Amino acid sequence: MKKLDKDDIKRIDKYYGNVPVGYAIIGVPDKECDVNEWPVLYVNEEAAKYMGMDRATLMNSCYDAIYPEINETVRYLERKVAFDGVPLETERYSPIAKKFFSISAYQYDYGMNAYLVKDITEKKMYRNALYSTMSAYREIYHVHLKENYYHMIYPKYYNSSEEGDYAKAIDKHIFTGKIYSDDEKNVRDFLDCKNVIEALSNKDIVEYRYRRTNANGEVEWCLTSFVIDERVNGEADKVTMMIRSIDDVLKREIEQQVLIEESLAQAESASKAKGVFLSNMSHDIRTPMNAILGFTDIAQNNINNKDRVEDCLGKIKSSGNYLLNLINDILDISKIESGKININESKNDINIIMSDFFNIMLSQCNYKKQTLTLDVSGVKNKQVYVDKLHLNQVLYNIAGNAVKYTPEGGEIDIIVKEEEIADKNYNNYIIQVKDNGIGISKDFLPHIFEAFTREDDSKKTEGSGLGLPITKSIVTTMNGSIQVTSEENVGTEFTIILPLKIAEIVDVDVMKSDGEIKKTDGCLDMDNCDNTMNKEELLINNKKAINVLVVDDNELNLEIASEILKDDGMNVTCCSNGKSAYELVLNSKPCTFDIILMDVRMPGMSGYEAAELIRKIDDSEKAKIPIVAMTANAFDEDKRSALKNGMNGHISKPIDVEKFPDLVRKYASF
Ligand code: ADP
């Protein structure tokens, strides 16, 4: 085998020792010796640097140590160099150096191969990145605009390179009948050399979108861009021209556009609905207000005509009631919208709830000569845990609509059934309310639960379009569902499904009013109380004249409350703020007051603060006086706040004149 002696190495080193490319000579002992055993005879500094080893170690190793990836192809090519003198140009990745190298191998002498090695890692990565970027394009050209000459950069076919007259190429490559006919003239104008120079006079990139037929015969959107490579005297001279499909991008853009348009339409329709609602509201509020003020005037002018005054008062009362319902609905919806519904479940007989409700509805149906039926035969377990107040609200909204939207003489059927579900502790209670009224149109049906919406035909009747959205929110909060089917002029059917926890059966009579209400939150609540007072209690309280202290900063409210109570035979003391109420109680003789009705929101000292101070009075008799909040804050949390602040209960304003005196007596007996 040929070897390099010291002089040879010195000589080679003189030329190649410090050149900025790797240089190596590898010995080829004979044909029998495998390539990986070929000895390394010489490496220069750069080659050793690539490998991260010193030259002496390398020059004592074999091919295998510098390139352990010798497979059959490498073996074949290396032998070709060594034995046939066929030079080799290749690129290889070295796992030792973790780099890409370009390698030129040639026969140095018979029995020795020489290798020139160059680090091309950066170039290679750059090239790879470029290729993968280019693959996003259909075609890429380099165009010399002033010379009307082009050179195709991508795709590059093996052994072929396209270049030549740019104007001719436009026809050849682009106008092969593939451009969508409507776009053809514009595309031709856009690609024209002079126009490109003009368009690039004050920017570095110009683009144009058009349609063309792709290889599958489908029309696709394309984008052609010219990007400046070089300017001569400020004018575009050399450019890169890129063509790519933008079908996907465009599809996404279109989808987004549709989404934007849809949400815009939704926002518009919501704001329109709110506008309609506000105009309805202002009409609905003004109408009863007008009646209240008008009939008040008439009553004043006919003050000596008892019949006329009575008639006016009746009308004022019914307009006031209508206004109150409307205000309650608006408050409900704003409460629901801010997610503040509280569900308070307590043990109830569902059949009793239904029959009580039936009796209330009956009077409305009688008035319209409608037939109302209730079928609870499908209920097996009557005792359930349910929020009676909210269930009644749901029933009232649905059945109330049935009465409202069913003409005189119509029929309304309420059916309650029970269905077992997987959870043994719960059953589904299905409440169906069917009517044979005016029905709901197909167009309106999908919008029926949207706030503020009403069908045109129903405008002849009173309403705000809030009942059903309120109902749906309550049912959903109770983990239930509500569905509706309807046909115009045939009728409507609402189905409510509520999963309710079954309670063991108890004696129905025990469940009446007081116990049940007290159990929910310990608060006697006038709004929910059916006012069935223990006869004994009433007798006791009726015997004595109750002394009531009414505290309210609003003179009219003070007057209304004290008049009603005085009419009922009570002794009433009025006070217009919390501080003087506290002082009055503090300085009064024992047993001066049996009960204090306290407004909550008052300037200076609030009702809560006054109640707290009264509870701290040393005289235990005074500190124990029942205090009842009497306020227009009518939500459940207001009722709870009253209790938390040391009060015994809550009466919401406006007060129900009929129930008020009895309730005051009841509280006074606490
Ligand atoms: P309101 O009754 O105050 O208008 P709702 O939210 O309770 O508001 O009902 C919304 C609309 O749904 C009503 O205006 C009416 O057009 C329609 N609707 C509800 N229930 C019925 C029914 N039983 N029959 C016919 N239409 C109904």
Mean pLDDT confidence for 98-102: 93
Q: What is the per-residue pLDDT for 160?
A: 55
Ranges 54-68, 227-241, 418-432, 640-654: which has the least confidence = 640-654
Closest ligand 1 atom, residue 402 Cα: 23
Name the more confident of 329 and 13: 13
Is residue 626 in contact with ligand 1, taking CB distance under 6 Å? Answer: no
Closest ligand 1 atom, residue 465 Cα: 8
Ranges 30-39, 318-327, 333-342: which has the least confidence = 333-342
Ranges 157-161, 444-448, 456-460: which has the least confidence = 157-161
Ranges 245-259, 412-426, 566-580: which has the least confidence = 245-259
Is residue 467 in contact with ligand 1, taking CB distance under 6 Å? Answer: yes
Phi, psi of 25, deg, nearest 5: -125, 130
Is residue 410 in contact with ligand 1, taking CB distance under 6 Å? Answer: no
pLDDT above 90 as % of the chain: 49
Instruction: Check whether 28 has a pLDDT greater than 80.
Output: yes
Output the DSSP codes for 517-562.
Answer: HHHHHS-EETTT------HHHHHHHHHSPPEEEEE-S-HHHHHHHH
Is residue 27 in contact with ligand 1, taking CB distance under 6 Å? Answer: no
Mean pLDDT confidence for 33-53: 92
Closest ligand 1 atom, residue 329 Cα: 3
Name the more confident of 336 and 660: 660
Mean pLDDT confidence for 510-520: 28
Name the more confident of 6 and 340: 6
Q: Among 280, 361, 458, which residue has the most ligand 1 atoms within 8 Å of its CB, making it the best to mutate?
A: 458
Is residue 448 in contact with ligand 1, taking CB distance under 6 Å? Answer: yes
Beta pairing class for 139-144 and 371-378: unpaired
Segment 472-492, tens digit of pLDDT: 989 999 999 999 999 999 999
Phi, psi of 305, deg, nearest 5: -100, 95
Q: Shortest CA distance to 578 belongs to which of 614, 530, 541, 540? A: 614
Segment 323-363, tens digit of pLDDT: 887 788 777 776 666 666 788 899 999 999 998 889 888 88
Quickly state the pLDDT bin for 528 (edges 50, 70, 90): very low
Q: What is the per-residue pLDDT for 175?
A: 59
Ranges 155-164, 367-376, 415-424: which has the least confidence = 155-164
Q: What is the per-residue pLDDT for 451?
A: 76
451 Rama sector, left if φ>0, alpha if ψ -120 to 50, beta otherwise: beta
Token pair listed for 152: 């195709």
- What is the pTM assigned to this prediction? 0.45
Q: What is the per-residue pLDDT for 507?
A: 37
Segment 576-589, tens digit of pLDDT: 999 999 999 999 98
Q: Which residue CA neighbors atom 8 of ligand 1 most closely?
A: 465
Q: What is the per-residue pLDDT for 279?
A: 67
Quickly state the pLDDT bin for 497 (edges 50, 70, 90): very high
Please provide the average confidence, as pLDDT, over all residues in the chain.
Answer: 85
603: enclosing H helix or E strand:
none
CA distances from 621 to 420, 422, 523, 550 (A): 54, 55, 21, 18
Mean pLDDT confidence for 115-125: 93
Is residue 438 in contact with ligand 1, taking CB distance under 6 Å? Answer: yes
Instruction: Check whether 158 has a pLDDT greater than 60.
Output: no
653 Cα–ligand 1 center, Å: 28
User: Are the C-beta atoms of residues 516 and 528 closer than 8 Å to each other?
Assistant: no
Quickly state the pLDDT bin for 240 (edges 50, 70, 90): very high
Mean pLDDT confidence for 76-101: 92
Is residue 454 in contact with ligand 1, taking CB distance under 6 Å? Answer: yes
Is residue 572 in contact with ligand 1, taking CB distance under 6 Å? Answer: no
Closest ligand 1 atom, residue 439 Cα: 25
Is residue 139 in contact with ligand 1, taking CB distance under 6 Å? Answer: no
Is residue 153 in contact with ligand 1, taking CB distance under 6 Å? Answer: no
Name the more confident of 336 and 384: 384
Please give the Cα distance from 150 to 168 (Å, whole number): 10
Q: What is the per-residue pLDDT for 570?
A: 93
175 Cα–ligand 1 center, Å: 63
Name the more confident of 545 and 347: 347
User: Are the C-beta atoms of residues 643 and 546 closer than 8 Å to each other?
Assistant: no
Instruction: Check whether 422 has a pLDDT greater than 80.
Output: yes
Is residue 561 in contact with ligand 1, taking CB distance under 6 Å? Answer: no
Instruction: Check whether 552 has a pLDDT greater than 50.
Output: yes
416 Cα–ligand 1 center, Å: 22
Q: What is the per-residue pLDDT for 537?
A: 42
Instruction: Check whether 532 has a pLDDT greater than 60.
Output: no
Please give the Cα distance from 53 to 44 (Å, whole number): 11
Instruction: Check whether 535 has a pLDDT greater than 60.
Output: no
